[in-house]
Amino acid sequence: MRTLLNFVKGPKSYEDLWWFDDVLHPTFRGACYARGLLGDDKYIDAIEEASRWGSGSYLRNLFVTLLLSAAIAMPSKVWEKTWKYLSNDILYQQRNALQNQALRLTEDELKNYALLNIEACLERNGSSLRRFEDMPFPESSTPHPVNTLVSDELSYDRVSLGEEHVHLLSSMTNEQMAVYNEIMDAVRNNRGGVFFVYGYGRTGKTFIWRTLCAALRSRGQIVLPVASSGIAATLLPGGITAHSRHSIPLNVVENSTCSRIKPGSDLAELLVRTKLIIWDEAPMTHRYAFEVIVTGV
């Protein structure tokens, strides 16, 4: 109301403030939005500009960040004008997840899948779309149900990763190649195992992780690169902190559990389908963190 009083001349009632362009808006916020006083247009422009180089997943994360920071005055209006950008990789993900390159999705299905992804991201941050006025909420069931955690890990460009893998492999030293071959042999033969790679800084450990990630992802397999710290996670391709990926409690004790790793859950399915977990800076983490993951699985 204070904002409108600065722009509307001589109002005699609330209706005078709500009225704009022959339309009576039901709220002060709606009237402000109609007059372009809330600044949401700059966020619409930002999402549109980012769509020229960013993936749909990146744009959805950007939208979630704007929601969590309360930067958007009317999220539903921003959603209506940007949903096509926010869902531009949904069809690709669904085709890969369902192994059906002829799959077609309606606009409503694209919106629903995008909202499901946004809701999942908000839930990971302790929030929900239900907290935002007028924002649509995704249907609990869809014609083509899919685990979004798995589909995100299968959405990498295999062709470009294959080319990157060949380039990285050709640049390896003999010592790096020995580590790579040992780990890849265990993955190919489903032998399992735990490998501890030790080396001083700048000795090429991250280079090995990049090569392993490119090798497996180019074949449509899942690898989860995690790190004990956020800074280290940024150096890994698609990296995330181990606590975030595995829902490890911040203060782990002997009897701690990973509450989200339950039989049949999306996270459990992701771990079951994972071929390799790369944990950078593992010695920085207490042994209880490793035990709690094994207990959860």
For the segment 284-294, what is each residue's pLDDT rounded down to a tens digit? 888 888 887 77
- The predicted pLDDT at position 36 comes to 59
Q: Would you place residue 94 in the very low, low, confident or very high pLDDT band (cuts 50, 70, 90)?
A: confident
Instruction: Say yes or no: 204 and 266 in one domain.
Output: yes
Task: Report pTM.
Answer: 0.57
Instruction: Say yes or no: 127 and 91 in one domain.
Output: yes
Q: Would you place residue 34 in the very low, low, confident or very high pLDDT band (cuts 50, 70, 90)?
A: low
Say which residue, 297 or 131, is predicted with more confidence.
131
- The predicted pLDDT at position 43 comes to 77
Q: Would you place residue 54 in the very low, low, confident or very high pLDDT band (cuts 50, 70, 90)?
A: confident
- The predicted pLDDT at position 128 comes to 87
Q: Would you place residue 266 in the very low, low, confident or very high pLDDT band (cuts 50, 70, 90)?
A: confident
Instruction: Say yes or no: 198 and 132 in one domain.
Output: no
Instruction: Say yes or no: 226 and 182 in one domain.
Output: yes
Q: What's the whole-number mean pLDDT along residues 231-249?
A: 87
Instruction: Say yes or no: 201 and 240 in one domain.
Output: yes
The residue from 153, 184, 207 where one domain ends is 153
Instruction: Say yes or no: 18 and 106 in one domain.
Output: no
Q: How many residues does the chain have?
A: 297
- The predicted pLDDT at position 47 comes to 87
- The predicted pLDDT at position 50 comes to 87
pLDDT at 185 over 60: yes
Instruction: Say yes or no: 86 and 204 in one domain.
Output: no
Print the domain residue range for 201. Answer: 158-296
pLDDT at 201 over 70: yes
Say which residue, 297 or 255, is predicted with more confidence.
255
Q: Would you place residue 46 in the very low, low, confident or very high pLDDT band (cuts 50, 70, 90)?
A: confident
Q: Would you place residue 156 in the very low, low, confident or very high pLDDT band (cuts 50, 70, 90)?
A: confident
Q: Would you place residue 125 in the very low, low, confident or very high pLDDT band (cuts 50, 70, 90)?
A: confident
Instruction: Say yes or no: 207 and 283 in one domain.
Output: yes
Q: Across all residues in the chain, what is the average pLDDT? A: 82
- The predicted pLDDT at position 181 comes to 94
The residue from 118, 153, 188 where one domain ends is 153
Say which residue, 173 or 38, is predicted with more confidence.
173
Instruction: Say yes or no: 132 and 182 in one domain.
Output: no
- The predicted pLDDT at position 4 comes to 60
Q: What's the whole-number mean pLDDT along residues 259-279?
A: 84
Domains of the chain: total: 3
Instruction: Say yes or no: 120 and 213 in one domain.
Output: no
pLDDT at 16 over 80: no
- The predicted pLDDT at position 270 comes to 87
